[in-house]
């Protein structure tokens, strides 16, 4: 009897946990949709968040390096922490310039990835040749479009990517939470198939 009650409590806790996961997913989906509408605000927000993460990570890394003084890790940890702190300060103070630099990097990355996919697909000619060429052409076109309108494209590219990441992560959490609640319900007997009564 006690074991049955314990299982019921565990099932209830799992059910509630998956429900909270689904709610978090809905919040992320809404944030992603808002970010896609207001991409300039999303870009600024993502850059400030990135800068603060660099700064906090640098401070934590510096504290770890100080704790490890006297070891071979000390100076490497200090240098890496100092670089993270400096980069965080620069991004927080100049978020628009940092966004422009990251947008340029993303455009060059798309260009190189597109060229690599196209050339590699034509040389190897594997079973997925058409799909590889399509992805390569898409990457190349995206890189050209971003680079062609740079630096004005930096106002929306980073924000759009950030918002899309929030949107897809949120959809994944919603699917996980909903599926988890269904599985817990089936295992615990809620909503599961009712036993057939003998005639």
Give the pLDDT of residue 3: 58
Give the pLDDT of residue 37: 83
Q: pTM for this one? A: 0.62
Q: Which two tokens stand for residue 27?
A: 């919040």
Give the pLDDT of residue 9: 64
Nearest alpha-carbon partner for 103 in 59, 154, 137: 154
Low-confidence ranges of the chain (pLDDT < 50): 191-197, 199
What DSSP designation does 195 have? Answer: P
Give the pLDDT of residue 140: 85
Give the pLDDT of residue 7: 63
Burial 85-120 (b: 16+ CB within 10 A, else e): bebbebbbeebeebbbebbbebbeebbebbeebbee
């Amino acid at each position: 009897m006690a074991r049955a009650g314990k299982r019921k409590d565990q099932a209830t806790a799992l059910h509630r946990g998956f429900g909270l996961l689904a709610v978090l997913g809905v919040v992320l989906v809404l944030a992603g949709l808002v970010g896609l509408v207001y991409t300039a605000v999303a870009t600024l927000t993502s850059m400030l968040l990135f800068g603060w993460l660099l700064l906090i990570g640098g401070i934590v890394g510096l504290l770890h390096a100080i704790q490890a003084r006297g070891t071979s890790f000390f100076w490497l940890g200090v240098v890496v922490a100092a670089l993270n702190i400096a980069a965080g300060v620069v991004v927080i103070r100049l978020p628009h310039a940092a966004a422009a630099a990251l947008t340029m990097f993303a455009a060059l990355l798309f260009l190189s990835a597109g060229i690599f996919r196209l050339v590699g697909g034509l040389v190897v000619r594997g079973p997925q040749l058409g799909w590889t060429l399509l992805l390569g052409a898409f990457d190349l076109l995206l890189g050209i479009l971003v680079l062609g309108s740079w630096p004005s494209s930096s106002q929306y590219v980073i924000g759009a990517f950030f918002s899309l990441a929030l949107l897809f992560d949120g959809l994944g959490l919603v699917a996980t939470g909903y599926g988890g609640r269904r599985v817990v319900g089936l295992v615990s007997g809620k909503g599961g198939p009712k036993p057939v009564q003998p005639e």
